Each structure stands twice: as structure tokens, then as C-alpha cells.
Amino acid sequence: MDDKKAKNDELVQIARLALAGRPQDVQTYIRRLARRYQGELPEVAAQLMALLQQGPTRQSPLRREAQAAAPVPVDLESRLQLLRIEETPTLETEPIWEEGVRRALDQIISERQRDEELFKKGLSPTRSILFTGPPGVGKTLAARWLARELHRPLLTLDLSAVMSSFLGRTGANVRHVLDYAKSVTGVLLLDELDAIAKRRDDITDVGELKRLVTVLLQEIDDWPPTGLLIAATNHADLLDPAVWRRFEMQVEFPLPTEASVHKAIETFLGTSTTPEVWNNVLAITLRGLSYSDIERELMQARRASVTRNIPIEDALSQVVQNRVDPLPRRERGQIALWLTEAGISQRQVHELTGVSRDTIRKKTRSRASGGHKGE
């Protein structure tokens, strides 16, 4: 009797979702049923999965019409669009990933390319991912890269930008965005997740914000497998613990390693032809910065080279001079030696690094006589 009641409840739930005009939720529910009946009724489960695979895709006329009919959500008061939409995401330069990040992103692509194999096994591709890490390490870039590789539009919602003193309006805005994103086969990026998904025991929170977090968690749980939801935060420590559990994959973006700093320098210096010694010098002086900070420093140097009509090496010297003081004495000495070997006068090297000319001469003689590098 209980089994019969459960099946009746399932039929009623599917009917309720269909009549409410929520096709994505219908698909999600059918996929759950297929997994549930895989052991008990394998033929039924197979038929359900086959129906899902035959459903409208983003390339079909039906899907295109549905997307065209759905208006982009706007703030009810300002009438400004809540989403930033990139129909065909592009990248100015190819990203540099640490190995762990690269593995995770490649897995996402592989799952989407082989989704039919997953569906046949009662599985679905990863639907939700949490990107964490300090600013400028490539979280937003990774979302854009995934959208490009998957040939999907990128929809970005900056949660800190939609926060309002009137939280009821913030809640309505977020719900409108999530409903719209569910209807589009794209990649949704929720940027600055910590703006609303803070710990719910925060004494400064109010009931409306806590309810908003609860709604967000439910949406993450029910996100359709046809879409991909990515949330990013610079402050993982502020997130409600329940948020971590909701995401199927978590990817931490670290600061660049030494090897990655070298690659970033080669990438951002572009067509500038500089001796290898400058790559080594910059790798020390720019260590500990994010990719975006490294790019900013080097792009400023390239602009200065053009606008002041000076060699790129002179512009890079200014970058070194601005950042060399906090470095340990040994590393400043190594930089001084490299710059001297690059043909820069000892007086200039002293001005750039603060290393005395007497010390520079000693290091140069030591190198020439076969002494240890950097001593």
C-alpha cells in the first residue's frame, strides 16, 4: 500500500511541475525517478532516460523560441538588467592554471562531452561548482573559459551589486535571475557569493537574509543537469557551512607558483622581446602576486615603454625598483647580479636594488671565478 501511495505521489508531483510550466524541474524529477527505479524497474528507468535525451536541446527550434520569449530579469525599481550576459564568451589570453585547477576544469568539460554515457548509468554531469581563492587568481576567468569550451552563453550575477537595504527586493531579484538561468542552457556565475551566503549564525543577519540563503541552497540542490551553476567567493571563511555541502565540486584557486609566475610574465609581456634575465628578475619581484596583479604591473610597463618612448627594459626596471625593498637581502643580491650580467651599470643596479656597488663587484668577481650562484 505504501509503495502504491509513493507512486501516486510521484505522478501527482510530475503533474504539478508540468502544470506550473517548469520543464527544467520536470526533467530533474524524472532523472531522479530513473535512478530510483534502475534496480527495481530497469526497463522503465531506461525509457525515462531515453526520453530525457530526446528532449528539446538548446539547438532545437523549440528551445530557441523559449529562450527568445524569456525576458532578461531587471531590477523592479531601477529597471536595470540584473545579469551580465556574454552570448559568445572570448578570452584575450589563454589562462594559466595550476595542476589541480586544470584537472577539475578538464573533468567538467569531459563530463559534458560524455553526458550520454553518464545518463545511461543513471548519472548526470556535475551541475554546481564552488570556486574559492583570493582575488585575481582566475575564478571569473575559469567560468568564462568553461562557457567558451562548452559553447554556451555566460550569465553573471554579481551578488554584492544586487544587495539592497530592502532585502525583500534583493530576494525577488535573485529568484528572478535563478528562474531565468534555469530556462537557458548556459553557465551561470554567482559572483561574490559571500555577499548573501554568510554564516546564518551571524548576529548582524536578519530573518529575511537567512530566508534568502535557504532559498539559494534549495535552488542549488535542484539545479537542472542541463545547466551549470558556478559560485565564486574571495572569502570562503565567511560562507555558511551548509553552502559548502550543496556544491557537487569545490575548486580552490591558489596564488601562482614560481613556474606559473614565469608563464604569466611570458604571456603578459606579449610580443616584447626581453632577455631571459628579465623573466628571472621579475619572477622574484612579482612573486606572491595574483595573476591579475602581475598583468597590471607588466601592462603598465608596456604602456610606459610606448608613451615615454623608452626601451621595455627601462620600464621593467621601474617595476623592479618599486617592489624590491621588501625582498630578503639574498634575493636582492641575486637580482643585482643578474642585472649586472645583463649589461646594466653597477650604479644603476645599486639605484634599482639598494645593493651596494662594493657588494655587486664582489658577487661579480665570485661568479667569474666560479663561486656559487647568488653568494
pLDDT at 57: 43
- Cβ atoms of 3 and 40 within 8 Å: the answer is no
pLDDT at 362: 82
Calpha distance 230→249 (Å, rounded):
10
Q: Where are the domains of the chain?
A: 2-55, 65-252, 258-368
Q: What are phi and psi of 250, to 5 degrees?
A: -125, 130
Q: pLDDT tens, 303-313?
A: 999 999 998 98
Q: pLDDT tens, 295-336?
A: 999 999 999 999 999 989 889 999 998 988 888 888 988 888
pLDDT at 254: 96
Per residue of the chain (375 residues), give pLDDT as tens.
466 666 666 776 667 766 666 666 677 777 777 777 776 777 777 777 767 665 544 443 334 434 444 677 776 666 777 788 899 998 988 899 999 999 999 999 999 999 989 988 888 899 999 999 999 999 999 999 999 999 999 999 887 777 655 556 777 778 888 888 888 889 999 998 887 776 555 544 556 677 777 778 888 888 888 889 999 999 888 887 888 888 999 999 999 998 999 999 998 987 556 778 888 899 999 999 999 999 999 999 999 999 999 989 889 999 998 988 888 888 988 888 888 887 888 888 888 888 888 888 887 877 766 655 444
pLDDT at 114: 93
Calpha distance 149→89 (Å, rounded):
9
What number does CATH give the domain 258-368?
1.20.140
Sequence-ordered list of residues with C-beta below 8 angstroms from that of 171, at least 6 positions apart, any chain = 208, 211, 212, 215
pLDDT at 122: 83
DSSP conformation letters of 190-210:
EESGGGT-B-TT-TT--HHHH
Q: What architecture (CATH level 2) is domain 65-252?
A: 3-Layer(aba) Sandwich (3.40)
User: Which residues are 130's β-sheet partners?
Assistant: 231, 250
pLDDT at 342: 79
pLDDT at 62: 35
Calpha distance 131→339 (Å, rounded):
39
Please name which of 225, 237, 226, 232 lies closest in space to residue 251, comparing C-alpha atoms: 232
Q: pLDDT tens, 194-206?
A: 877 765 555 445 5
Please name which of 45, 27, 42 lies closest in space to residue 127, comparing C-alpha atoms: 27
